[in-house]
Chain A
Amino acid sequence: GQQLNQSPQSMFIQEGEDVSMNCTSSSIFNTWLWYKQDPGEGPVLLIALYKAGELTSNGRLTAQFGITRKDSFLNISASIPSDVGIYFCAGPYYGQGGKLIFGQGTELSVKP
């Protein structure tokens, strides 16, 4: 079945460093979504990608929809302590309406 694999599983970085994480699948996705979950809260949508090759930014965050449609990347520039949390990629199950599948998440820790 469809699966999303995220890497790395966790990252420990220094404040000010850039961060890169990715999400891959053996299946093609027509939409890629990136969410962030703060401790004790639900995931919040950061960026949505709808077209292969698309590069979209949201402040210090930049995400790309891979050309093969089987991967996506999220970059965070000049990290700050409030970037701490779990980042999830997600995509719609093929032919199943609004149902989303989520990756396992990348847990980011930022040292001041």
Chain B
Amino acid sequence: DAGVIQSPRHEVTEMGQEVTLRCKPISGHDYLFWYRQTMMRGLELLIYFNNNVPIDDSGMPEDRFSAKMPNASFSTLKIQPSEPRDSAVYFCASSLGQTGYTFGSGTRLTVV
């Protein structure tokens, strides 16, 4: 298995633009998680899905953030409009049941 695949690896965008991050979980995994990592706040859970259904989005910073999982093999995290304070590394992770996650390599987002 290729693991959790995220794209793009790096994204630089201007403030106000829409940003879409993509994730392909490991085949057969039933949980998918989106995390954000910053120096100040560490790893923060934004939202997670179970069997493609959003279960907890309490970590989503504000309405500018949205996430979808249209099928078991694909999820997106969208920021619209983006702001400089959204600059961070965004990780997607998947798991089978409540076992340990497998993380993707992350998307480093820079909003200028």
Contact = CB atoms under 8 A, between A and B. Distances in A.
Contacts of A102: 42-43
Given A97-B50, A102-B43, A42 B93 contact: yes
B99 A42 contact: no
Contacts of A33: 100
Given A48-B99, A98-B98, A102-B43, A41 B56 contact: no
Contact of A97 (B31, B43, B102, B106): B31
**Which size class do A's interface residues fall under?**
20 to 34
B104 A45 contact: no
Contacts of B99: 48
A88 B43 contact: yes
Interface of A: 31, 33, 35, 40-45, 48, 88, 92, 96-105
Contacts of A40: 105-106
Contact of B103 (A42, A92, A96, A99): A42
A101 to B, nearest CB: 8
Interface in B61-112: 91, 93, 95, 97-106
